[in-house]
Amino acid sequence: MKYKLVILFSVIFLVACNQSIDYEKDEVVAVLMGEEILFEDVLKQYPIRTDYVDIFLREEVIVQEAKETGIVVTEEEVEELKEPFYNAIQDVDMENFYERQGEELGITPEEYFELWSETYLTRDTYIQRYIHSVFELPDEDEEEEWEKEVQQHMADLFFEYQENGDLVISDY
């Protein structure tokens, strides 16, 4: 659970700190394994800014890799994660984020929160399971090195997908 919260809070603190992009929601950001990823898909998790699009695509590669290795995340599992997740983020003030993102998608902040949290929990569970299938959990004194190894592995996969043509990023 500690690692999940680290990822969540690192995402939260990134809001509004990088360059915006002019876009249309139905515009293609990338093609991953033949499937189009639209700006609308990115909006379900992040504002449309350069760094966030990159983060989203990196996460998508890991989710794809997890699925290819046989990892499955069910709707029931995501539902079970919602209550502890909601309790963990109840003190985090993200109301403006939900309002802005909901407005971009044409839905209410409440609808956006539900969409965002379900999407986040699904993607995060795939990512966490994948990481745990590739790396053993570290001892406390090895956490920093472990995190570097995980980040490097994720970066290597991202570039491997690009080199193989499995991920084609549009010029946006």
Say which residue the tokens 């695509």 belong to: 57
pLDDT digit string (tens) for 9-57?
A: 444 444 445 577 889 999 999 999 999 999 999 999 999 998 999 999 9
| pLDDT score for 14 | 46
pLDDT tens for the chain, 172 residues long, are 444 444 444 444 444 455 778 899 999 999 999 999 999 999 999 999 989 999 999 999 999 999 999 999 999 999 999 888 888 887 777 888 999 999 999 999 999 999 999 999 999 999 999 999 999 988 889 999 999 999 999 999 999 999 999 999 998 8
pTM for the full predicted model: 0.85
Residue 95: what pLDDT? 83
Per-residue pLDDT at 94: 83
Cβ of 152: how many Cβ atoms within 10 Å?
10
The length of the chain, given as a count of residues: 172
Task: Express the helix, strand and coil content of the chain in percent, nearest 5 each.
Answer: 65, 10, 25
Type of residue found at 114:
E
